[in-house]
Amino acid sequence: METKILSTKEIKKAAELIKNGEVVAFPTETVYGLGANALNPEAVKKIFKAKGRPSDNPLIVHISNLNQLKKIAFVNKKAKNLIKNLWPGPLTIILKKKKIVPKEVTANLESVAVRMPKNKIALKLIELSGVPIAAPSANISGKPSGTCFEDVLEDFNGKISAIIKSKHCDFGIESSVVDLTEKNPVLLRPGALSFEKLKKFLPNLVLHKGKTIAAKSPGMKYKHYSPKAKIILFEGLAKNKIREYKRKLEKSEKKVKIIKPANSKEFSKKMFMLFRKCDKKNIDYILIPSIEEKGIGLAIMNRIRKASTKIIKK
């Protein structure tokens, strides 16, 4: 398959491909998405094939207007409040789905994850396609998310119909996912929108903890965001041992890189890119000290833990 590289002025061509049941990678404010017509089961299956993604891992449906939302989901009061204040933006809301949404999108669940991205290219693509677009992050399943055109081309050249070439994504980390199908709202996946900001609109919001059998959100069930290099996370007092650990590994002739998250907001933009750069340099181990889990730091730590081979706490 030849993968077409489209400019931001060729969104209409990308929309035609979506209409025809093809897969197109496109930028959002969080990370690049791998999109197909959310109402076409056969098109959705192409996403899973291209990514090598397990079929029980649900997709997020991207919309450009509230009429599309009403078509695919039952909207409750809590959702209306979040939508009014935080959409478009890096927030995914889980609602009870309507029958029109294929089981392939929702992993056979009765809920659907929906968001309205705050990105002109993404919104225009959805609008011109005339359908909601199912789109997980544009990366091979389990690997670091694609945050720029070059990353996506590296992973999907020859595997999908087209990639819209654009600048680096603003946040560099995926959307926050809030489940509104239960009595109390639950933050299933910390993301670009902070827990603290969400609490302003959902005072009884809680953070999901523990394992789950039926994952309502991407990023809950499997190891994610991992480079080929093994990531070791150092928490608490163990952070003081990170250089000692590095010397020990280097004595075993391992290539080691220490990555220190300084400014959380800036680090979130570069994190997945840094992981990919380490792989290109054949780094064996990436050592990372933990950061405070406030603001976007909560999402950063969530991604690092998901990607880690080992966590050292003392």
30-47 confidence digits (pLDDT tens) = 999 999 999 999 999 999
Mean pLDDT of the region 69-79? 97
Mean pLDDT of the region 63-82? 97
Residue-averaged pLDDT of the chain: 94
DSSP 8-class letter at 305: H
User: What pLDDT, on the 0 to 100 scale, is given for residue 219?
Assistant: 56
Q: Does residue 132 register a pLDDT over 70?
A: yes
Instruction: Determine what percent of the chain is predicted with pLDDT higher than 90.
Output: 89
User: What pLDDT, on the 0 to 100 scale, is given for residue 79?
Assistant: 97
Amino acid at position 313, single letter: K
Pairing of strands 24-26, 33-37: antiparallel
Q: Quote the CA–CA distance of 231 and 307 in Å, as a whole number.
A: 7
Q: Which of 67-76, 195-204, 255-264 is predicted with the least confidence, judged by mean pLDDT?
A: 255-264
User: What pLDDT, on the 0 to 100 scale, is given for residue 226?
Assistant: 87
CA–CA–CA angle 21, 145, 310 (5° rounding): 140
Cβ atoms of 75 and 95 within 8 Å: the answer is yes
Q: Does residue 15 register a pLDDT over 70?
A: yes
Q: Which of these, 142, 144, 84, lies nearest to 116 by C-alpha position? A: 84
Q: Tens of pLDDT along 263-311?
A: 788 999 999 999 999 999 999 999 999 999 999 999 999 999 999 999 9
Full set of structural domains in the chain with CATH:
4-207 (3.90.870.10), 230-312 (3.40.50.11030)
Q: Tens of pLDDT along 215-250?
A: 676 655 555 688 999 999 999 999 999 999 999 999
User: What pLDDT, on the 0 to 100 scale, is given for residue 262?
Assistant: 79
User: What pLDDT, on the 0 to 100 scale, is given for residue 265?
Assistant: 86
In angstroms, the first-to-last Cα distance of the chain is: 50
Q: Quote the CA–CA distance of 290 and 151 in Å, as a whole number.
A: 26
Q: Which of these, 213, 236, 233, lies nearest to 225 by C-alpha position? A: 233
Instruction: Determine what percent of the chain is predicted with pLDDT higher than 70.
Output: 96
Mean pLDDT of the region 122-132? 98
User: What pLDDT, on the 0 to 100 scale, is given for residue 167?
Assistant: 87
Pairing of strands 4-6, 162-164: parallel
Q: Does residue 131 register a pLDDT over 50?
A: yes
User: What pLDDT, on the 0 to 100 scale, is given for residue 213?
Assistant: 47
Check residues 214 and 193 and name the one with the higher pLDDT. 193
Omega before 190 within 30 of 0, i.e. cis:
no
Please state the pTM of the whole predicted model: 0.93
